């Protein structure tokens, strides 16, 4: 999973992060004339923790869990076993899963995640608020990738008997996510901090989702992760001066992993038509799209300095990623929000303003203002469900005829 800036796995729900004092050192403008921040000629703060809490020397305490932070997931594994049992589920198309398995066995990125000596030096040159934001970005991303690793690994273990092909795919996806998380954790160590992933495995709380919701959420997180990585990669390719740290050079192949993971979830969803063919699935599909898009939009707008640093306009970047993810998602979800209706982003922008007010009111201890702003946010979030959605998906239905004919279901 991705996300993931927590580049992929789309991370939970709404929360807060403080924007610290602007001690940003400007550097020369990039090719677009935009000033980038936070880089100084020589490093000096390599042994500081930048105010982050540490468990022990060099090991960062995981950030508090909020509605917006990446989560660890668990599910009903017995139900999962039934869903992938050919005995219980006649819709399983093993040809498609066999093809997926061959792709994963090819292991295209086996030698992709190899570091070089430019990493440490680049990290040493990142300073001040930008350095802090980089650490937060790496931590969120690492946690999100590791969350995918844990879930896929367990699914690989639990489905071995029922469906060895699907089980092996999950295990190979957990291989990919372990690589991604490990690469990010190694990057954190360039900033003299790292995460104790073993400790987190045992001590972080796990959010329970029924299998159906795991499918919606992971499909979206993989696809949105793909669009985030590839957009950042392409932007930096055009403006290489903005690449403060070499991790972004790896995003092109990295995002192909996320794309393959998403395609596998698409095949999984097709094998479970009961999750895509009624009014409840329409609602849930939209609910998950909205949760993921809103969460990303609010999260990223609290970290605009990070995106500006790598040469992105946070708003444009987010809108592009949401539109592309939604276009991809409508090939499989039975309903998606109409994000290309101009009102959609108007509402999201209002949420950003209100979220800023909630954070400000929290800092000032103004409970009334905070409560009022949260109330206004809730009204806007609810209003998304009253916007005309798009009826989408791979399935087409013929309504049951008056003579009592059968419902036809086809790809
Ligand atoms: Fe993934
Ligand atoms: Fe990943």
Q: In angstroms, what is the span from residue 140 Cα to ligand 2's centroid?
A: 12
CA distances from 273 to 174, 284, 362, 407 (A): 25, 14, 45, 13
> By the 8 A CB rule, do 239 and 311 touch?
yes
Q: In angstroms, what is the span from residue 28 Cα to ligand 1's centroid?
A: 36
Q: Which of 327, 337, 216 is nearest to 276 (CA)?
A: 216
DSSP, res 334:
S
Q: In angstroms, what is the span from residue 321 Cα to ligand 2's centroid?
A: 17
Q: Which of 296, 284, 379, 401 is nearest to 337 (CA)?
A: 284
Measured in whole angstroms, how far is the alpha carbon of residue 362 from the centre of its chain? Answer: 26
Six token digits for residue 279: 């009014």
Q: In angstroms, what is the span from residue 7 Cα to ligand 2's centroid?
A: 9
CA distance 104 to 303: 34
DSSP, res 3:
B
Q: In angstroms, what is the span from residue 254 Cα to ligand 2's centroid?
A: 7
CA distance 305 to 36: 9
CA distance 299 to 287: 18
Q: In angstroms, what is the span from residue 256 Cα to ligand 1's centroid?
A: 9
Six token digits for residue 304: 């605009």
In this predicted structure, what is the pLDDT of residue 67? 57
In this predicted structure, what is the pLDDT of residue 405? 35
Q: In angstroms, what is the span from residue 343 Cα to ligand 1's centroid?
A: 31
Q: Counting ligands in written order, which one lies closest to the CA of residue 177?
A: 2
Q: Counting ligands in written order, which one lies closest to the CA of residue 141?
A: 2
Q: In angstroms, what is the span from residue 108 Cα to ligand 2's centroid?
A: 14
In this predicted structure, what is the pLDDT of residue 319? 97
Kindly tell me the burial class for residue 2, based on how many C-beta atoms sit within 10 Å of its own C-beta (0-12, 13-18, 19 or more).
buried
Full pLDDT tens readout for the chain, 411 residues: 544 444 444 443 332 222 222 222 222 233 333 333 333 333 334 445 677 777 777 777 776 666 557 889 999 999 999 999 988 888 888 999 999 999 999 999 999 999 998 999 999 999 888 898 899 999 999 999 999 999 999 999 999 999 999 999 999 999 999 999 999 999 999 999 899 999 999 988 899 999 999 999 999 999 999 999 999 999 999 999 888 899 999 999 999 999 999 999 999 999 999 999 889 999 999 999 999 999 999 999 998 988 998 899 999 999 999 999 999 999 999 999 999 999 999 999 999 999 999 999 999 999 999 999 999 999 999 999 999 999 887 654 433 333 333 333 332
Q: Residue 143: CB partners within 8 Å, gap ≥ 6?
A: 6, 62, 69, 70, 195, 200
Q: In angstroms, what is the span from residue 77 Cα to ligand 1's centroid?
A: 20
Q: In angstroms, what is the span from residue 146 Cα to ligand 2's centroid?
A: 8
> By the 8 A CB rule, do 41 and 28 touch?
no
Q: Counting ligands in written order, which one lies closest to the CA of residue 104?
A: 1
Q: Which of 112, 135, 150 is nearest to 189 (CA)?
A: 135
Q: In angstroms, what is the span from residue 148 Cα to ligand 1's centroid?
A: 7
Q: In angstroms, what is the span from residue 351 Cα to ligand 2's centroid?
A: 28
Q: How many CA atoms lie within 13 A of 250 on its CB side?
A: 20
In this predicted structure, what is the pLDDT of residue 393? 77
> By the 8 A CB rule, do 147 and 70 touch?
yes
Q: Counting ligands in written order, which one lies closest to the CA of residue 180?
A: 2
Q: In angstroms, what is the span from residue 384 Cα to ligand 1's centroid?
A: 28
Q: In angstroms, what is the span from residue 379 Cα to ligand 1's centroid?
A: 33
Q: In angstroms, what is the span from residue 187 Cα to ligand 1's centroid?
A: 18
Tell me the sheet residues that pair with 29: 35
Element (H, E) at 44: none
Q: In angstroms, what is the span from residue 109 Cα to ligand 1's centroid?
A: 13
Q: Counting ligands in written order, which one lies closest to the CA of residue 178?
A: 2
CA distance 142 to 136: 10
Which DSSP string do the residues of 166-212 spell out, in sequence order?
HHHHHHHHHHHHHHHHHHHHHHHHHTT-EE-HHHHHHHS-EEE--HH
Q: In angstroms, what is the span from residue 397 Cα to ligand 2's centroid?
A: 35
Q: Counting ligands in written order, which one lies closest to the CA of residue 181?
A: 2
Q: In angstroms, what is the span from residue 73 Cα to ligand 1's centroid?
A: 14
Q: In angstroms, what is the span from residue 116 Cα to ligand 1's centroid?
A: 24
The phi and psi torsions of 213 (rounded to 5 degrees) equal: -75, -30
């Amino acid at each position: 999973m991705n996300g993931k800036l927590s580049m992929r796995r789309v991370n939970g729900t709404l929360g807060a992060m403080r924007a610290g004092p602007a001690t940003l050192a400007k550097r020369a403008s990039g090719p677009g004339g935009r000033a980038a921040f936070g880089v100084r000629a020589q490093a000096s703060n390599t042994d500081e923790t930048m105010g982050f809490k540490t468990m022990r020397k060099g090991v960062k305490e995981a950030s508090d869990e909020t509605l917006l932070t990446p989560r660890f997931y668990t599910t009903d594994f017995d139900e999962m076993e039934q869903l992938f049992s050919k005995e219980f589920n006649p819709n399983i198309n093993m040809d498609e899963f066999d093809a997926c398995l061959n792709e994963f066995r090819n292991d295209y990125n086996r030698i992709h995640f190899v570091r070089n000596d430019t990493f440490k030096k680049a990290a040493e040159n990142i300073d001040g608020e930008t350095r802090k934001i980089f650490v937060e970005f790496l931590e969120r991303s690492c946690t999100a990738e590791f969350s995918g690793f844990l879930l896929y690994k367990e699914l690989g273990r639990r489905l071995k008997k029922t469906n060895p092909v699907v089980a092996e795919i999950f295990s190979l996806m957990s291989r990919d996510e372990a690589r991604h998380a490990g690469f990010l954790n190694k990057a954190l160590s360039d900033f003299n901090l790292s995460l104790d992933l073993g400790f987190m495995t045992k001590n972080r709380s796990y959010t329970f989702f029924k299998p159906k919701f795991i499918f919606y959420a992971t499909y979206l997180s993989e696809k949105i992760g793909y669009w985030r990585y590839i957009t950042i990669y392409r932007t930096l390719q055009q403006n290489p001066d903005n690449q403060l740290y070499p991790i972004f050079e790896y995003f092109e192949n990295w995002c192909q992993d996320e794309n393959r993971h998403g395609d596998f979830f698409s095949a999984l969803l097709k094998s479970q038509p009961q999750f895509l063919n009624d009014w409840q699935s329409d609602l849930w599909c939209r609910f998950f799209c909205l949760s993921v898009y809103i969460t990303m939009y609010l999260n990223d707008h609290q970290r605009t300095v990070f995106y500006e640093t790598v040469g992105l306009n946070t708003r444009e970047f987010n809108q592009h990623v949401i539109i592309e993810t939604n276009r991809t998602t409508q090939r499989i979800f039975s309903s998606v929000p109409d994000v290309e209706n101009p009102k959609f982003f108007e509402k999201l922008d209002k949420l950003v303003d209100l979220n800023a007010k909630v954070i400000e009111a929290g800092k000032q201890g103004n409970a009334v203002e905070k409560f009022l702003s949260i109330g206004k946010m809730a009204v806007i979030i609810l209003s998304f469900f009253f916007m005309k959605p798009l009826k989408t998906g791979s399935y087409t239905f013929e309504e049951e005829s008056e003579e009592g004919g059968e419902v036809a279901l086809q790809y």
